[in-house]
Amino acid sequence: MIGIEILTIGTEIVGGTIPDTNFLFLARELAARGLRCRWHTAVPDDRETLAAALETALGRATVIVTTGGLGPTPDDITRKVVATVLKRQLVLREDVVQILQDRFARLGRKAPPNIQAQALVPFGCDLIDNELGSAPGLRLQTEEGRILYALPGVPHELERMAERIVLPEISSLVAGTRIAERTLRTVGVPESVLSDRLAGLAPPNGAIAFLPHLGHVDVHLSVEGPAQANDAVLDRLIAEAADRIGDAVYGEGIEELEDVAGRALMERGWRIAVAESLTGGALGARIVRVPGASRYYLGDVVAYDNGAKVSILGVPEAWIRDHGAVSGPVAEAMAHGVRERFAADVGVSTTGVAGPDGGSEEKPVGLVYFGICWPGGRISVRRQLLGARSQVIARSVTTALDLVRRVAGGLAVT
């Protein structure tokens, strides 16, 4: 397997002024072709730092792709550093000067005096045409057989050049061996528990990674080997992992929990209504993100105030007085009330303490109750969801969607 390194250049990237979207694009496109970026380095527009990073990359990677530093300004240093590290002279390409002058002429503009800076290239390199900008890309091969691609930092220019030339060329360098990847999406089970359940599962040529999010964890599985055998190996790996994890698996790939819950409702022929307190409409917003949600989603009551819980949802005042607004009885009453108001099959509710204030020893910040009613059943569920206010709200939405998925899918609700 060839080793690929992406070297992004720019003081604004290292300083956090702009995100490194070029790296994300290249890494994802490599992965889509069964290839993996094994190293990623980001450096500022500094000659010594860039030279050191480039020498390191040339010492360990088979293919190096640099992004940025090919423009005409003083901080565009990539050409000079590449020439220095590879001990090659910079030569002026008159054909590139002419191409750039013609491009400016077509735009009705006079070429700037510094145009020749973009036509200085290391001796022996091939040029990669830039259809969308002025700076051509560079392709060089070292005496040791390393291949270096230097691409501009402007995202749409880089993407076009990579898609047309660079990515197909890198793919052609590898015969047979590829990386195949798939992702299981899980909810309600911590990363540590998932790790225990999948212990010893990965084959010698495979790997399992756990990617936690707010309220759910993605289990990323990959295998590296002959392309024709990867799919069969990965199918077996996915099936075994799903069996070990159980019904905490809600989907695969990029499938979202609201998609799965909505599909389960449609399969039952059920419609749903929502009553929200602490989530303030966030649950309903997640549900309607799904195209066609109108086939099963009736509406949402955001009853943030206790008076709204009583007057709109029919929660008994005595229950709020005796149990508090954040309680199992009130959550269940909210779900029952919204189900009745909308004549829905399923009613689901959220009530809790999102923080940062309002908690107590008995009801701390992060305490959330969920209520759900459906044909033949009703239940309230208590959860302690840790994190900042926005995290508590996001996790609450995920938990509520999972309750809907479980109820509509005939799974156990705990």
How confident is the model over 49-90, as pLDDT tens digits? 999 999 999 999 999 999 999 988 788 899 999 999 999 999
pLDDT confidence tier of residue 374, bands split at 50, 70 and 90:
very high
Cβ-contact 331, 380 below 8 angstroms: yes
pLDDT in tens, 210-258: 999 998 999 999 998 887 788 899 999 999 999 999 999 999 999 999 9
Distances (CA, A) of 272 to 110, 112, 288, 360: 64, 63, 12, 33
Indicate the burial class of 58 (C-beta count within 10 angstroms; 0-12, 13-18, 19 or more): middle
Q: From residue 24, give the alpha-carbon distance in Å to each of 6, 7, 37, 166, 343.
A: 10, 12, 10, 15, 47
Q: Which of 29-33, 313-317, 332-336 has the lowest mean pLDDT?
A: 29-33
Domains of the chain are 4-173 (3.40.980.10), 177-252 (3.30.70.2860), 257-409 (3.90.950.20)
pTM, 2 dp = 0.83
pLDDT score of 351: 97
State the chain's mean pLDDT as an integer.
Answer: 93
Report the phi/psi class of residue 200: left, alpha or beta, with left for phi > 0 and alpha for psi in -120 to 50.
left
Kindly provide the b/e burial profile for residues 228-252, where b requires at least 16 CB atoms within 10 angstroms of the residue's own CB: eebeebbeebbeebbeebeebbbbe
CA pair distance 166, 64, nearest whole angstrom? 11
Report the pLDDT value the prediction gives residue 95, as an integer from 0 to 100: 83
Q: Give the per-residue pLDDT at 167.
A: 96
- Best CA proximity match to 53, nearest among 42, 65, 69, 45: 42
pLDDT of residue 277: 98
% residues pLDDT > 90 (the chain): 79
Task: Kindly state the average pLDDT of the residues 141-170.
Answer: 96
Share of the chain above pLDDT 70, in %: 99
Question: 408, 75, 73, 67: which is closest to 259 by C-alpha?
Answer: 408
What integer pLDDT is reported at residue 103 of this predicted model? 77
What is the rounded average pLDDT of the residues 348-355? 96
pLDDT of residue 207: 93
Q: What is the mean pLDDT of residues 141-164?
A: 96
Taking only the tens place, the pLDDT of each residue in 94-151 is: 888 887 788 778 777 877 777 777 788 899 999 999 988 888 899 999 999 999 999 9
Query: 146 near 62, Cβ under 8 Å?
Result: yes
Is the pLDDT at 175 greater than 80? The verdict is no
Predicted confidence at residue 96, as pLDDT, reads 80
Beta strands per DSSP E along 156-234:
177-187, 206-212, 216-226
Give the tokens for residue 196: 């225990």
CB count in 10 Å sphere of residue 260 = 21
